[in-house]
């Protein structure tokens, strides 16, 4: 296993007890995705070091990626190539289902809204049928975008906030389908005795980002390493909060296995503007930052929420003093990963 990923997995296992997965059957959709591959990696390491004997079925649109190739010899890990945006069949029964599949990159969900709806709604309903038979646990990966714009005077979004997400615009299909996916999961779970967990995520970064990832962090690091210049697509005034991947995966596992509530905000604590992020990346990579005179005409540019910050008090309270990876440390590890992808 890549040493950066290996250390992060060990870090996750030190922070959350995965013993409830002992001898269990787990299904992970989006297993090739950024978060999905970290879930699989952590279980692989737990199988090796904690002897939990957890069997994992990994679902992805494409065949196993570079990280997943390392697990092909592990008979407890099975990969299946399935397009969840189309009618599908998955055989078997599962104790835990992590539905992490979906288009998290604005450039993708804005260009394929029907597939976005199919994965967040239709596939969610189908996967819930697999959980109904055992009364298992279904974990739906939602988004902080379901809250919409932050009202004036509000410092962060609590899980109880109903949201004001718009239903028009190029990004609306993502938030709206996530909201419906949440409702489906909770409604069906209560009716059939399933344990549903909703994790609302925002802006995760870290090692494991694919070479072609189009989210802002990846774009900035890739351009900084390649061109020594980061060119923004707009003025970069939107404010985001970033969470390091190992922290996020630890919180997801805790919510799924030990959480007392149904809905959890999951994220980081490092809040900064897009321009501020570019400057932090540029400083570590020795790159300059260029601000355009005119905003890019890309359909998703300038349409994101102006401020996104989640209230994490619920998950932090249950995890008893959760500590976050410092941003400079997480960024340094992410840049090291991207250098490996570049071959530098």
CA distance 250 to 41: 12
Structure tokens at 213: 């990832």
List the domains of the chain with CATH numbers. Answer: 3-208+242-269+308-325 (3.40.50.720)
All residues at 6 or more sequence positions from 63 whose CB lies less than 8 Å from its CB, including other chains: 79, 81
Q: What is the pLDDT of residue 299?
A: 47
Q: Above 90 in pLDDT, residue 87?
A: yes
Sign of CA dihedral 202, 203, 208, 214: positive
Q: How many residues does the chain have?
A: 344
Secondary element (H or E) of residue 230: strand 229-231
pLDDT band at 343 (very low <50, low <70, confident <90, very high): low
Higher pLDDT, 138 or 69: 138
pLDDT band at 301 (very low <50, low <70, confident <90, very high): very low
Q: What is the pLDDT of residue 305?
A: 59
Q: Of all residues in the chain, what percent carry a pLDDT higher than 90?
A: 65
pLDDT in tens, 250-295: 999 999 999 999 999 999 999 999 999 999 999 999 999 999 877 6
Q: Above 90 in pLDDT, residue 57?
A: yes
The closest of 93, 82, 148, 172 to 119, measured between CA atoms, is 82
Q: Above 80 in pLDDT, residue 298?
A: no
The closest of 181, 214, 213 to 200, measured between CA atoms, is 181
Higher pLDDT, 190 or 344: 190
Q: Above 50 in pLDDT, residue 300?
A: no
> How many helices (H) and strands (E) would you count in the chain?
11, 12
CA distance 266 to 286: 31
Q: What is the pLDDT of residue 292?
A: 83
Q: Above 80 in pLDDT, residue 338?
A: yes
Q: Above 60 in pLDDT, residue 303?
A: no
Q: Above 90 in pLDDT, residue 97?
A: yes
Cβ 163 vs Cβ 121: under 8 Å: no
Q: Above 50 in pLDDT, residue 134?
A: yes
CA distance 131 to 133: 6
Q: Above 90 in pLDDT, residue 11?
A: yes
The model's pTM is 0.92
pLDDT in tens, 154-205: 999 999 998 887 777 767 888 999 999 999 999 999 988 889 999 999 999 9
The closest of 60, 57, 41, 46 to 18, measured between CA atoms, is 46
pLDDT in tens, 23-54: 999 999 999 999 999 999 999 999 999 999 99
- pLDDT, the chain, mean: 89
Q: What is the pLDDT of residue 149?
A: 86
All residues at 6 or more sequence positions from 290 whose CB lies less than 8 Å from its CB, including other chains: 229, 230, 231, 232
């Amino acid at each position: 296993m890549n040493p950066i990923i290996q250390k992060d997995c060990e870090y996750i296992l030190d922070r959350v007890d995965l013993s409830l997965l002992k001898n269990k059957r787990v299904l992970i959709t989006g297993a090739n995705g950024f978060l999905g591959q970290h879930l699989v990696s952590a279980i692989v390491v737990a199988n090796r070091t904690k002897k939990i004997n957890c069997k994992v079925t990994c679902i992805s649109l494409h065949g196993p990626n570079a990280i997943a190739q390392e697990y092909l010899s592990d008979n407890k890990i099975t990969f299946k190539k399935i397009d969840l945006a189309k009618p599908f069949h998955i055989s078997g029964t599962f104790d835990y289902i992590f539905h992490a599949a979906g288009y998290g990159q604005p450039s993708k969900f804005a260009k394929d809204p029907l597939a976005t709806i199919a994965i967040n709604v239709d596939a969610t309903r189908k996967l819930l049928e697999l959980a109904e038979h055992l009364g298992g646990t279904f974990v739906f990966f939602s988004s902080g975008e379901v809250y919409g714009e932050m009202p004036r005077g509000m410092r962060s979004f609590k899980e109880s906030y109903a949201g004001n997400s718009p239903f028009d615009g190029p990004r609306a299909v993502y938030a709206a389908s996530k909201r419906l996916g949440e409702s489906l999961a909770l409604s069906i779970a209560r009716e059939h005795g399933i344990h549903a967990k909703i994790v609302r995520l925002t802006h995760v970064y870290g090692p494991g980002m694919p070479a072609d990832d189009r989210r802002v962090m990846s774009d900035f690091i890739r351009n900084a390493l390649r061109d020594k210049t980061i060119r923004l697509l707009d003025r970069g005034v939107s404010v985001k909060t970033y969470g390091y991947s190992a922290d996020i995966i630890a919180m997801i596992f805790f919510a799924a296995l030990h959480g007392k509530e149904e809905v959890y905000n999951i994220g980081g604590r490092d809040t900064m503007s897009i321009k501020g992020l570019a400057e932090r990346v540029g400083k570590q990579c020795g790159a300059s930052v260029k601000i355009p005179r005119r905003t890019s005409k890309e359909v998703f540019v300038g349409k994101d929420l102006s401020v996104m910050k989640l209230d994490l008090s619920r998950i932090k309270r249950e995890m008893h003093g959760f500590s976050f990876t410092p941003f400079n440390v997480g960024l340094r590890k992410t840049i090291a990963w991207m250098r490996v992808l570049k071959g530098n």
